[in-house]
Structure 1
Amino acid sequence: MSFKTVGLIFKKELSDLFRDKKTVLVGILIPLLLLPIMFYFMSAGIEKTAKKENFNIAIEDKGKSSLDKFLKEKDDLNIKTIEFDEAEDKVKNGEIAVVITIPDNFEENIKNGVQTNIDVIYDDSSQTSSMVFSKVNQYIGEFSQNVVKTTLTNRGIDPSVLLPVNINKKTIVEEDDGVSKMIMSMIIPLFIVLYCVTGPLPAATDLGAGEKERGTLEPLLTTKASRLSILYGKVFAITVLGIITAIAAIAGLVISFKISPGVFGGGVENFDIGISPLAILIIFTFTVLTSMAFGALELAISIYARSFKEAQTYTTPLTILAFVPTFLMYTVDGKNIDNIYFHIPIANVMSILKEVTLGVINIQHILVVLGWMIAYIVISVAIARYMFNKENVIFRT
């Protein structure tokens, strides 16, 4: 094998891939542009749902209670007047989010310290209605606390007796930063692994089965370049495309963070994406290794396939199998990962990326997963080499 020949094959395959507009569109532009657009509209939908105009509530209060007055003073509630015999229908069709019925003896019961029931109608199948109910429930709880405090104060009792233990919160990071890092530790590893799996796929399919269909693989094999040089040139070209696709996806994600922070942080406006240079280096290293492992394996499958369509059929189960451990690790706490996960394919990469995103640099974990990744690459390249050296596979049509 000649490194010079490998470099020539690599340049040739890479230029062929980027000459194809579909590669640029699918591999780079779609993740780079689609993600910000998608998250922008998601954020717009969340903001629209949270607008006061959608927080429609109706209050039936014949006794002119203090609770009625309390709720009407809240700026984020939109009080509507309706016919109360149609209350359930109006909630069902979404015209009203929540209907509250306050009994006539409400004030009398409050003054006498008697527990009072109020009826609240809402639709738990509606996101807006559930959100408004949660807000109303919060305000009613606040009103109840005020009543209790007033009652105790009038009786000469310190209201603090109701809360004998008070918690002074102290986080190791700023509260918003903590939320940001938690969200990032879930989303960034997920996108990196998904695009490391799917990013090399179009190139692998094209440089294997695609070339067999076009009849361009046989002339390449008749050149002075050894099969091993051709194989490595193709693997490196596929790996580069996978890396670029993953970087484009993360770039699109970062743009989404900046444009629509609320959709990620649950109201955190200043979404911090601060990751240390060392963490970025580790993330990039495992992105390269994951892309190479899957790129070589997908190329092996593509070479085995008779046609482009058959290659797509064969690689589909591979991507599905890769998604299982990826989503398995999605909600796992990056600072409390069991050691077994560092030995499970793909789950181990997700584990390292989660730790690193949260700022945890565990050398032992990194070395363990690095060893596994090297083993995966050796196995994948060996399979691809085996396929590439078998005449009945190469000329299989």
Structure 2
Amino acid sequence: MRQPKYALAAYDIDAEEDDVWALCADAENLFGDPRPPTRGTYELLGCAPEGGLSTAVTRARAAGSAPLGFLALEILDKKGERVEEWYLEDVRVLGDRPCARDLSLRDITIEARESPHNAFDYPQCPPLSPGYRLLGARNEPSGSCRDLAFVQDQPDLVEPSVRLLGCSPRGALRTALEAGEEDLGHAKLVRLDATGRTVQSAVEGELIAWIPSGRGRGLVDLTLEPWSERPPAAAQEVWELWDEGRPSEPNLWARCGEAGRAFWLDTARENRDASAPDAPPGTTYHLDGRHITDQAGFFCALGEAVNGPGGYFGWGLSALDDCLRGRWGARRPFSLLWHEAQVARLCLGLIPRTDDRPATFEELLAFLAGGGIDVRLA
């Protein structure tokens, strides 16, 4: 019989590690991919449109709306100098009207989503600022506006609560249930492997309800309202591959898609042996390149090359740079013999260039060389 898949523990930084409130046979409604950013409606107040924005306004008058794309708002100080930028993506012009304060200007209504790269939730101009300078995707002038007004966004969809099934309560939770307390407390849910060892944190939240479980006498089903992000759908596949503990077979990650490979890196990082010493400088590592078809796959393979199956050695270039400083399994300089490198050469870097694109094969080689790694292609 399979051991419980999850353990529920007190959400308390001062609690003991073994302060487990319940072991749970399974969970429902646990996994959920992050939603795409919601679109909102905004007004560019007191706007003097130029370039692509002016063209989109003209088209919107004829067609009812018109696509614009990317729009950057440069926040200006009282001297008209740039202070900061704030970005809107996938912008669509819905219409325009004369500005009530200055009939030579326009109030333009747009629909857009906020960029995930914004440093703050909403832009604010400093005192005596003339407003915003507007720029397109290639920094081409798109005009100016005196203010930005947020009108409305799409309503948030309500996600179902997490149900923890077949739970055997213990400790403080059991005491609370027996006393009939309504406040059951805050808890964290962790994934267990088949031996009962912790694999990875799953979600945190508040216990809001319970009922007797149909899975056995003395068991309960609990309802958890998450306040942290849920694990993505890809986590389910990864956790199944880690069910017997840290993998002893290489390339299990290759069975996963790109999202699963990215989550595999999180799992590998959380399960690394921080007490293991680094291999000495000058070591040669063998990188199995047969399955490196995306950037996440490169880092999965690199982690296993350095630290064995299920190993971790960075999830991106910045994390790799940290790993190269030591205490992550290898000390530079070292050599990396990249087998079947033609797979990565053909597959990496094919996504159209964006601000947040994956590295190309050549860029990876250059980064590794700059980090003191002697890469040999085989």
TM range (shorter): under 0.3
Bigger Rg, which one: 1
Point out which structure has higher relative CO (alpha carbons under 8 A, 6+ apart). Answer: 1
TM-score, normalization by structure 2? 0.25
Considering fraction of residues, name the structure with more helix. 1
